[in-house]
Amino acid sequence: MPSSPPLRVVQWATGAVGRYSLRNVITRPEFDLAGVLVYDPDKVGQDAGTLVGLPEAGIVCTDDVDEILALDADCVLHMPLPASYFGGDQQTDVETICALLAAGKNVITTTGFVYPKCYGPGVVERLEAACRTGGSSLHGTGINPGFMSDLLPLALTGLSSRVDHIYVRETSDFRGHPSRQIVVDLFGFTRSAKDYTAAVRPFRAFQRSLFAESVQFVAENLNVVLDGVDESDEFELATEEFEISAGLVRVDTVCASRWTFTGLVRGRPFMTVECVYKADATKVHRWSEPGFSIHIEGIPQMTLSVGEISHGLAGAAAHAVNSVAAVCAAPPGIHTALDLPLATGRGTVRIA
């Protein structure tokens, strides 16, 4: 029986997550790299393979959106920084994704959209209209949200006869993260308390919308109607000076933050997602150690712990790449994680 032709894939953005994704696309035989969209002027004109330390791939990176829209491609792996980083808002990402969908390209994004219904009927209709126009599909995924705070808790509730409260905790260590855009500009580490408070405002809005998607997604799939989703956040200041990959953390600058997102039913928490981010977990001892934990209160009570994932960015990229075949095979429309076969690493195993 003849094998299917490779799926033509576009890599949109080549930041920390996008580079892992691009390596996957280039090295896996089931994919054919169709194009690469970059934001950094220094990357324009570079060969895609060379950009990620691989042999030349024969595809030149471009910053021309119209060129990408005109390509013949099955899927776009959409992995830019959130629009709030560039001074925009979530609608900017909606416009980009709609343009890609209307051009006939399936889109897998790591900018959210795990549960677009969370943004209201207007956004959903725009996305669905673009899918109808292009005969294409949209899927939002990643590692958290996209797996740890939504897909995995729902899978565990398959063992439950009663669910009272779902608690998800993520603690991430950023000491080895090389991107100042992420660590400093987005998360606010190395900033003074005053600068952090001002700079984090757009990121707070992004975080709230992102994790509200997960909480709403889980609740609605368990037939629970939430009153709303509360958000709170706090930060920690460094008591000593230390170096991380993204820069120098000085005394009295922000070195960690803790965010909680709680879905409420009649004033009581039904689901809580806690996210702790540390500039260096060996230097910041407040809050939990790196890793993931899911606790379900009910009958039975369950706790699942995942030790620190050594390359969380690689995991986020891989979950998106592993979804390409399923999204391309799905009927046009918006697809959540429960609409698609579970993304696995099939085809990625290498035996020495």
Could you read off the pLDDT of 304-315 as tens digits, one per residue? 999 877 777 888
CA distance 99 to 119: 18
Same domain, 163 and 215: yes
Q: What is the CATH number of the domain that holds 88?
A: 3.40.50.720
Confidence band, pLDDT 50/70/90 cuts, at residue 240: very high
Same domain, 193 and 252: yes
pLDDT reading at 169 higher than 90: yes
pLDDT at 311: 76
Is the four-CA dihedral 264, 268, 270, 271 of positive or negative sign?
positive
Same domain, 47 and 169: no
Query: What tokens were used for 249?
Result: 């953390």
Selected residue with higher pLDDT from 346 and 187: 187
pLDDT at 351: 47
Question: pTM of the predicted model, to two decimals?
Answer: 0.92
Q: What is the CATH number of the domain that holds 240?
A: 3.30.360
Same domain, 93 and 37: yes
Selected residue with higher pLDDT from 112 and 49: 49
Confidence band, pLDDT 50/70/90 cuts, at residue 349: low
In total, how many domains does the chain have?
Answer: 2
Taking residue 307's Cβ as centre, other Cβ atoms within 10 Å add up to 9
pLDDT at 266: 94
Domain membership of residue 167 as a residue range:
151-308
pLDDT at 92: 86
Determine, yes or no, domain membership for 214. Answer: yes
Confidence band, pLDDT 50/70/90 cuts, at residue 300: very high
| Residue carrying the six token digits 């369950």 | 302
Same domain, 175 and 192: yes
Determine, yes or no, domain membership for 348. Answer: no
Same domain, 24 and 128: yes
Same domain, 175 and 235: yes
- For residue 316, the surrounding DSSP H or E stretch is helix 312-321
Contact 212, 261 (CB under 8 A): yes
